[in-house]
């Protein structure tokens, strides 16, 4: 029996393209490596499932004019890490495929290290193999016993506890617990405005990801409005484009609110992407909550199986 494909949009969310081994930062945001990304794009291209941002938006807005149900896949990247330019962009361009890159304007061209990467960096470079933290709760970490990845994950988990209301204190105490005195110097980690211009010229699309990458639901309305309007204005000024799509930082369902969605609409965004899983089926799409699923290091055969099941079931990853 031949099942028809679901009429819907599968939107993939990537962060970094890099090798897991020998990376100094958070491997949790490494989506895949260059070879596997090339395999993924080539597979999706061959199947003729890939769509551009404009095609995805036309579908979401009910204006695609397609006569028969069609399965569509959109490739998106959050945060604008430098490897998006160095590795992902050439691969996409070589396949004639488009990626949508959501940039946080405050990070563009910088060597900033946000908390998840800093936690990983500190633990991976720790001189002390055993340490304990007491804020916001007690945690004993034994890198020798539990391994680096599990140790990074346990500190990351502690940071994300709702009781952690003072993130500067958390990082200060982590550095102190590790005996870290001098702040390390980091190479540039985010793509620059000039690189973003080259990406646009090479067929890529750019979206907004706020200015400072704070969780919008934790900000008051005026601050949320500023984050959305100022970043949009900055992109227009630097890149000469009117970016009208947004990805909510963190993207899970409590990271933005109904008010955030309304502000996004008022700030001139046509659509906004979340990141807590799900498939966008025709007839049940919220333009300010376009669902995305993460690519998180799965093998190529698993990736193909997941996309295939999504195509037929209208749900995601089996
Ligand atoms: Zn982000």
CATH classification of the domain holding 201: 3.20.20.370
| Whether residues 239 and 304 fall in one domain | yes
Tell me the residue range of the domain where 33 lies: 8-110+188-313
The pTM (predicted TM-score) of the whole model is 0.95
Distance, CA 65 to ligand 1 centroid (Å)? 32
Ligand 1 is an ion; residues with CB less than 5 A from it: 78-79, 249
H, E, C per residue of 109-164: CCCCCCHHHHHHHHHHCCCCCEEEECCCCCEEEEHHHHCHHHHHHHHHHHHCCCCC
Let me know if 40 is exposed, middle or buried by CB neighbors in 10 A (0-12, 13-18, 19+): buried
Distance, CA 283 to ligand 1 centroid (Å)? 28
Whether 182 is covered by a domain: the verdict is no
| Whether residues 49 and 192 fall in one domain | yes
Higher pLDDT residue, 283 or 300? 300
Distance, CA 184 to ligand 1 centroid (Å)? 23
| Whether residues 57 and 157 fall in one domain | no
Distance, CA 261 to ligand 1 centroid (Å)? 17
Extended beta strands in the chain, E state: 8-14, 16-17, 30-32, 71-79, 99-103, 130-133, 139-142, 205-208, 245-247, 271-273, 280-281, 293-294
Q: What digits encode the pLDDT tens for the residues 256-298?
A: 999 999 999 999 999 999 999 999 998 889 999 999 999 999 9
Whether 232 is covered by a domain: the verdict is yes
| Whether residues 84 and 194 fall in one domain | yes
Number of domains in the chain: 2
In the listed set 145, 177, 209, which residue is the last one of a domain according to the structure? 177
**What pLDDT is attached to residue 176?**
93
Distance, CA 144 to ligand 1 centroid (Å)? 31
| Whether residues 146 and 54 fall in one domain | no
Q: What digits encode the pLDDT tens for the residues 133-187?
A: 999 999 999 999 999 999 999 999 999 999 999 999 999 999 999 988 777 789 9
**What pLDDT is attached to residue 318?**
61
**What pLDDT is attached to residue 21?**
87
**What pLDDT is attached to residue 19?**
94
| Whether residues 205 and 284 fall in one domain | yes
| Whether residues 56 and 82 fall in one domain | yes
| Whether residues 156 and 252 fall in one domain | no
């Amino acid at each position: 029996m031949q099942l028809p494909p679901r009429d819907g949009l599968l939107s993939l969310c990537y962060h970094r393209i890099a090798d897991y081994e020998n990376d100094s930062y958070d491997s949790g945001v490494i989506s895949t490596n260059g070879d596997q990304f090339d395999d993924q794009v080539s597979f999706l291209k061959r199947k003729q499932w890939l769509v551009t941002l404009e095609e995805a938006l036309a579908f979401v807005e009910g204006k695609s004019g397609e006569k028969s149900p069609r399965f569509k896949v959109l490739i998106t990247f959050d945060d604008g890490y430098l490897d998006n330019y160095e590795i992902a962009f050439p691969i996409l361009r070589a396949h004639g495929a488009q990626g949508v890159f959501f940039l946080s304007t405050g990070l563009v061209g910088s060597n900033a290290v946000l908390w998840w990467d800093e936690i990983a960096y500190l633990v991976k470079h720790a001189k002390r193999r055993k340490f304990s933290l007491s804020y916001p709760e007690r945690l004993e970490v034994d890198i020798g016993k539990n391994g680096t990845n599990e140790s990074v994950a346990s500190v990351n988990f502690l940071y994300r506890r709702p009781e952690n209301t003072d993130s500067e204190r958390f990082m200060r105490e982590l550095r102190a617990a590790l005996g870290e005195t001098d702040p390390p110097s980091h190479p540039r980690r985010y793509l620059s405005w000039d690189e973003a211009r080259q990406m646009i010229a090479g067929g890529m699309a750019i979206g907004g990801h706020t200015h400072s990458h704070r969780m919008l639901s934790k900000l008051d309305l005026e601050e949320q409005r500023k984050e959305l309007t100022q970043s949009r204005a900055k992109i227009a000024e630097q890149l000469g484009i009117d970016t009208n799509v947004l990805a909510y930082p963190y993207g899970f369902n409590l990271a933005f609110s109904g008010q955030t969605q309304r502000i996004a609409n008022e700030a001139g965004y046509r659509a906004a992407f979340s990141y807590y899983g799900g498939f966008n089926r025709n007839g049940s799409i919220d333009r300010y909550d376009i669902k995305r699923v993460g690519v998180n290091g799965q093998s190529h055969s698993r990736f193909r199986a997941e996309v295939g099941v999504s195509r037929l079931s209208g749900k995601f990853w089996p």
